[in-house]
Structure 1
């Protein structure tokens, strides 16, 4: 509110007890995602390079949790229907994610490349390590951090980019698109919530305050609604 109305008073730190820290997400630009994928592509190891590049692309295209991507199995993708099924979700609920044709093509290219280089995988995982095993989150998180440093993504920003922020970026970009198209965002928020696999649809409302541009658009829509109601 302080960004929209200079008369807004911001309470000093410590006035209101808060036991849970909150940090604003780092919102990746399309150029940031391209830079991360390009940096991953340059890895000396061909299979890890393809794995890292495709995982980042899938995160950006779907807003999936990194744990869901790592837990993806080969039979979780319905190639004919262009639908991905997530079974190992944060809240224990399965859900289906429809994919764009370009995303399906990227996954198919990776699968073909993976099968040429990894003839005897040791797991049913769709994404595999150089040894054919399922990816582990801690090493991949460190790899993602290294890719950010090497590509310069987040350099100069007060917010340190995290891998989970790719999911936040997907949600924010989706909401920005809906606002710019004049869509009924209030009605569409539950749809976004289901797509992202939230345990509570109210969780999607958090994204409205995740970026100044999105907050400004939401405020503009609110002002327009007030004008209509006042007529």
Structure 2
């Protein structure tokens, strides 16, 4: 094994010990080392990193993603040998780093659930309304929902357990009794379509296996189209992941309207959503004009009357 290959193995071990999964990074960095080997290079340089990142045809965001996979590895190498160069941040510009979230109204969520019940395949007509509903009331990530197993639903305690979520973290999600009842009804109906096994994904295909996220994304886009939930702009199109954004923004809106202490509530919301850093939750404060308006009104009252902001 070459020195760079060994360094990559050590780097992945360290990062994964911190909770990062790095499946895509491992693949990309392996390809980058293949490129360096072909060039006869034994150190990382900005020139080589940029040449490799921009070699394939594609949009600038793809080139930036490839280069961003190299940067932390290059920094790891540089800390051990200054001959390795670290590509500067922002070397490839490709626009906003975040997609514009599509914030669904309660009526749109209801329309999505209703339309999902009309899917032509009976199992799909059962699975997708339940999946969309669970995402809407918990704000969990799509991948987390698809990774749920039957035993992760504790009907007696009203708890859904997310295991090995993003960054390898698990968490308990208290849910409303109506959600628990809906999940139990779903399980009873689902077992009529697929064979019973000892350990099974909560959301399944007709073979009884777990659902595939790309297929879920494609089916959701068709559901949204049929439900009349259309793009608001080229950068703001309905995505299944945006149900999570909608949950977070709706929770904050309710807190402002109820006069709750939003600053005290944000860390709890951050934990519920599975955010590693609270700043990821604070981002939602700027995600919706209505939230900004409510925050501004509260700040104005605080400045005028001394009321807590």
Q: TM-score range by the shorter chain?
A: 0.7 to 0.9
* Larger helix fraction of residues: 2
Distance 2:267 2:283 in 1: 12
Aligned to 2:216: 140
8 Å CA contact 2:153, 2:161 repeated in 1: yes
After TM superposition, list the pairs within 5 Å mapping 1:41-80 onto structure 2.
41-80=117-156
Picking from 266, 269, 273, the partner of 1:192 is: 269
Quick one: distance in 2 between partners of 1:199 and 1:21?
18
Structure 2 residue aligned with 1:150: 226
Q: Does 1:104 align with 2:176?
A: no
**Partner residue in 1 for 2:258:** 181
Residue 190 (structure 2) pairs with residue 114 (structure 1): yes
Superposed displacement of residue 60, structure 1:
0.3
C-alpha distance in 2, partners of 1:116/1:203?
41
After superposition, what is the alpha-carbon deviation per residue over 1:153-187, rounded to whole angstroms, capped at 9, x for unaligned? 125x2221111110000000000000000000011
Deviations 1:27-72 (Å, cap 9, x if unpaired)?
1011111111111111121111110110000000110000000000
Distance in 2, matches of 1:192 and 1:154, equals 29
Partner in structure 2 of residue 126 of structure 1: 202
Tell me the residue number matched to 1:219: 296
Structure 1 CA distance for aligned equivalents of residues 161 and 180 of structure 2: 13
Deviation at 1:119?
Answer: 2.4
In the alignment, the residues of structure 1 paired with residue 99 and residue 123 of structure 2 have an alpha-carbon distance, to the nearest angstrom, of 34
Provide the aligned length of Structure 1 versus Structure 2: 213
Which residue of 2 is the match for residue 29 of structure 1? 105
Q: CA contact under 8 A between 1:122 and 1:133: conserved in structure 2? A: no
Match of 2:243 in 1: 166
Offset from partner CA, 1:65-104 (integer Å, 9 cap, x none): 0000000011111111000111120111110000101111
* Partners of 1:123 and 1:134 within 8 A in 2: no
Bigger relative contact order (CA 8 A; separation at least 6): 1
* Alpha-carbon distance between aligned partners in 2 of 1:54 and 1:82, rounded to the nearest angstrom: 16
Structure 2: tracts of 5 or more residues without a match: 1-89
What is the CA deviation profile of residues 92-117 of structure 1, one whole-angstrom value per residue up to 9, with x for unaligned ones? Answer: 11100001011111101100001122
Larger Rg belongs to: 2
Shift of 1:228: 2.9
2:144 & 2:155 partners in 1: Cα distance?
A: 18
Mapped to 1, the partners of 2:198 and 2:217 lie a distance apart of 22
SS in 1 for 2:161: strand
* TM-score (normalizing by structure 1): 0.88
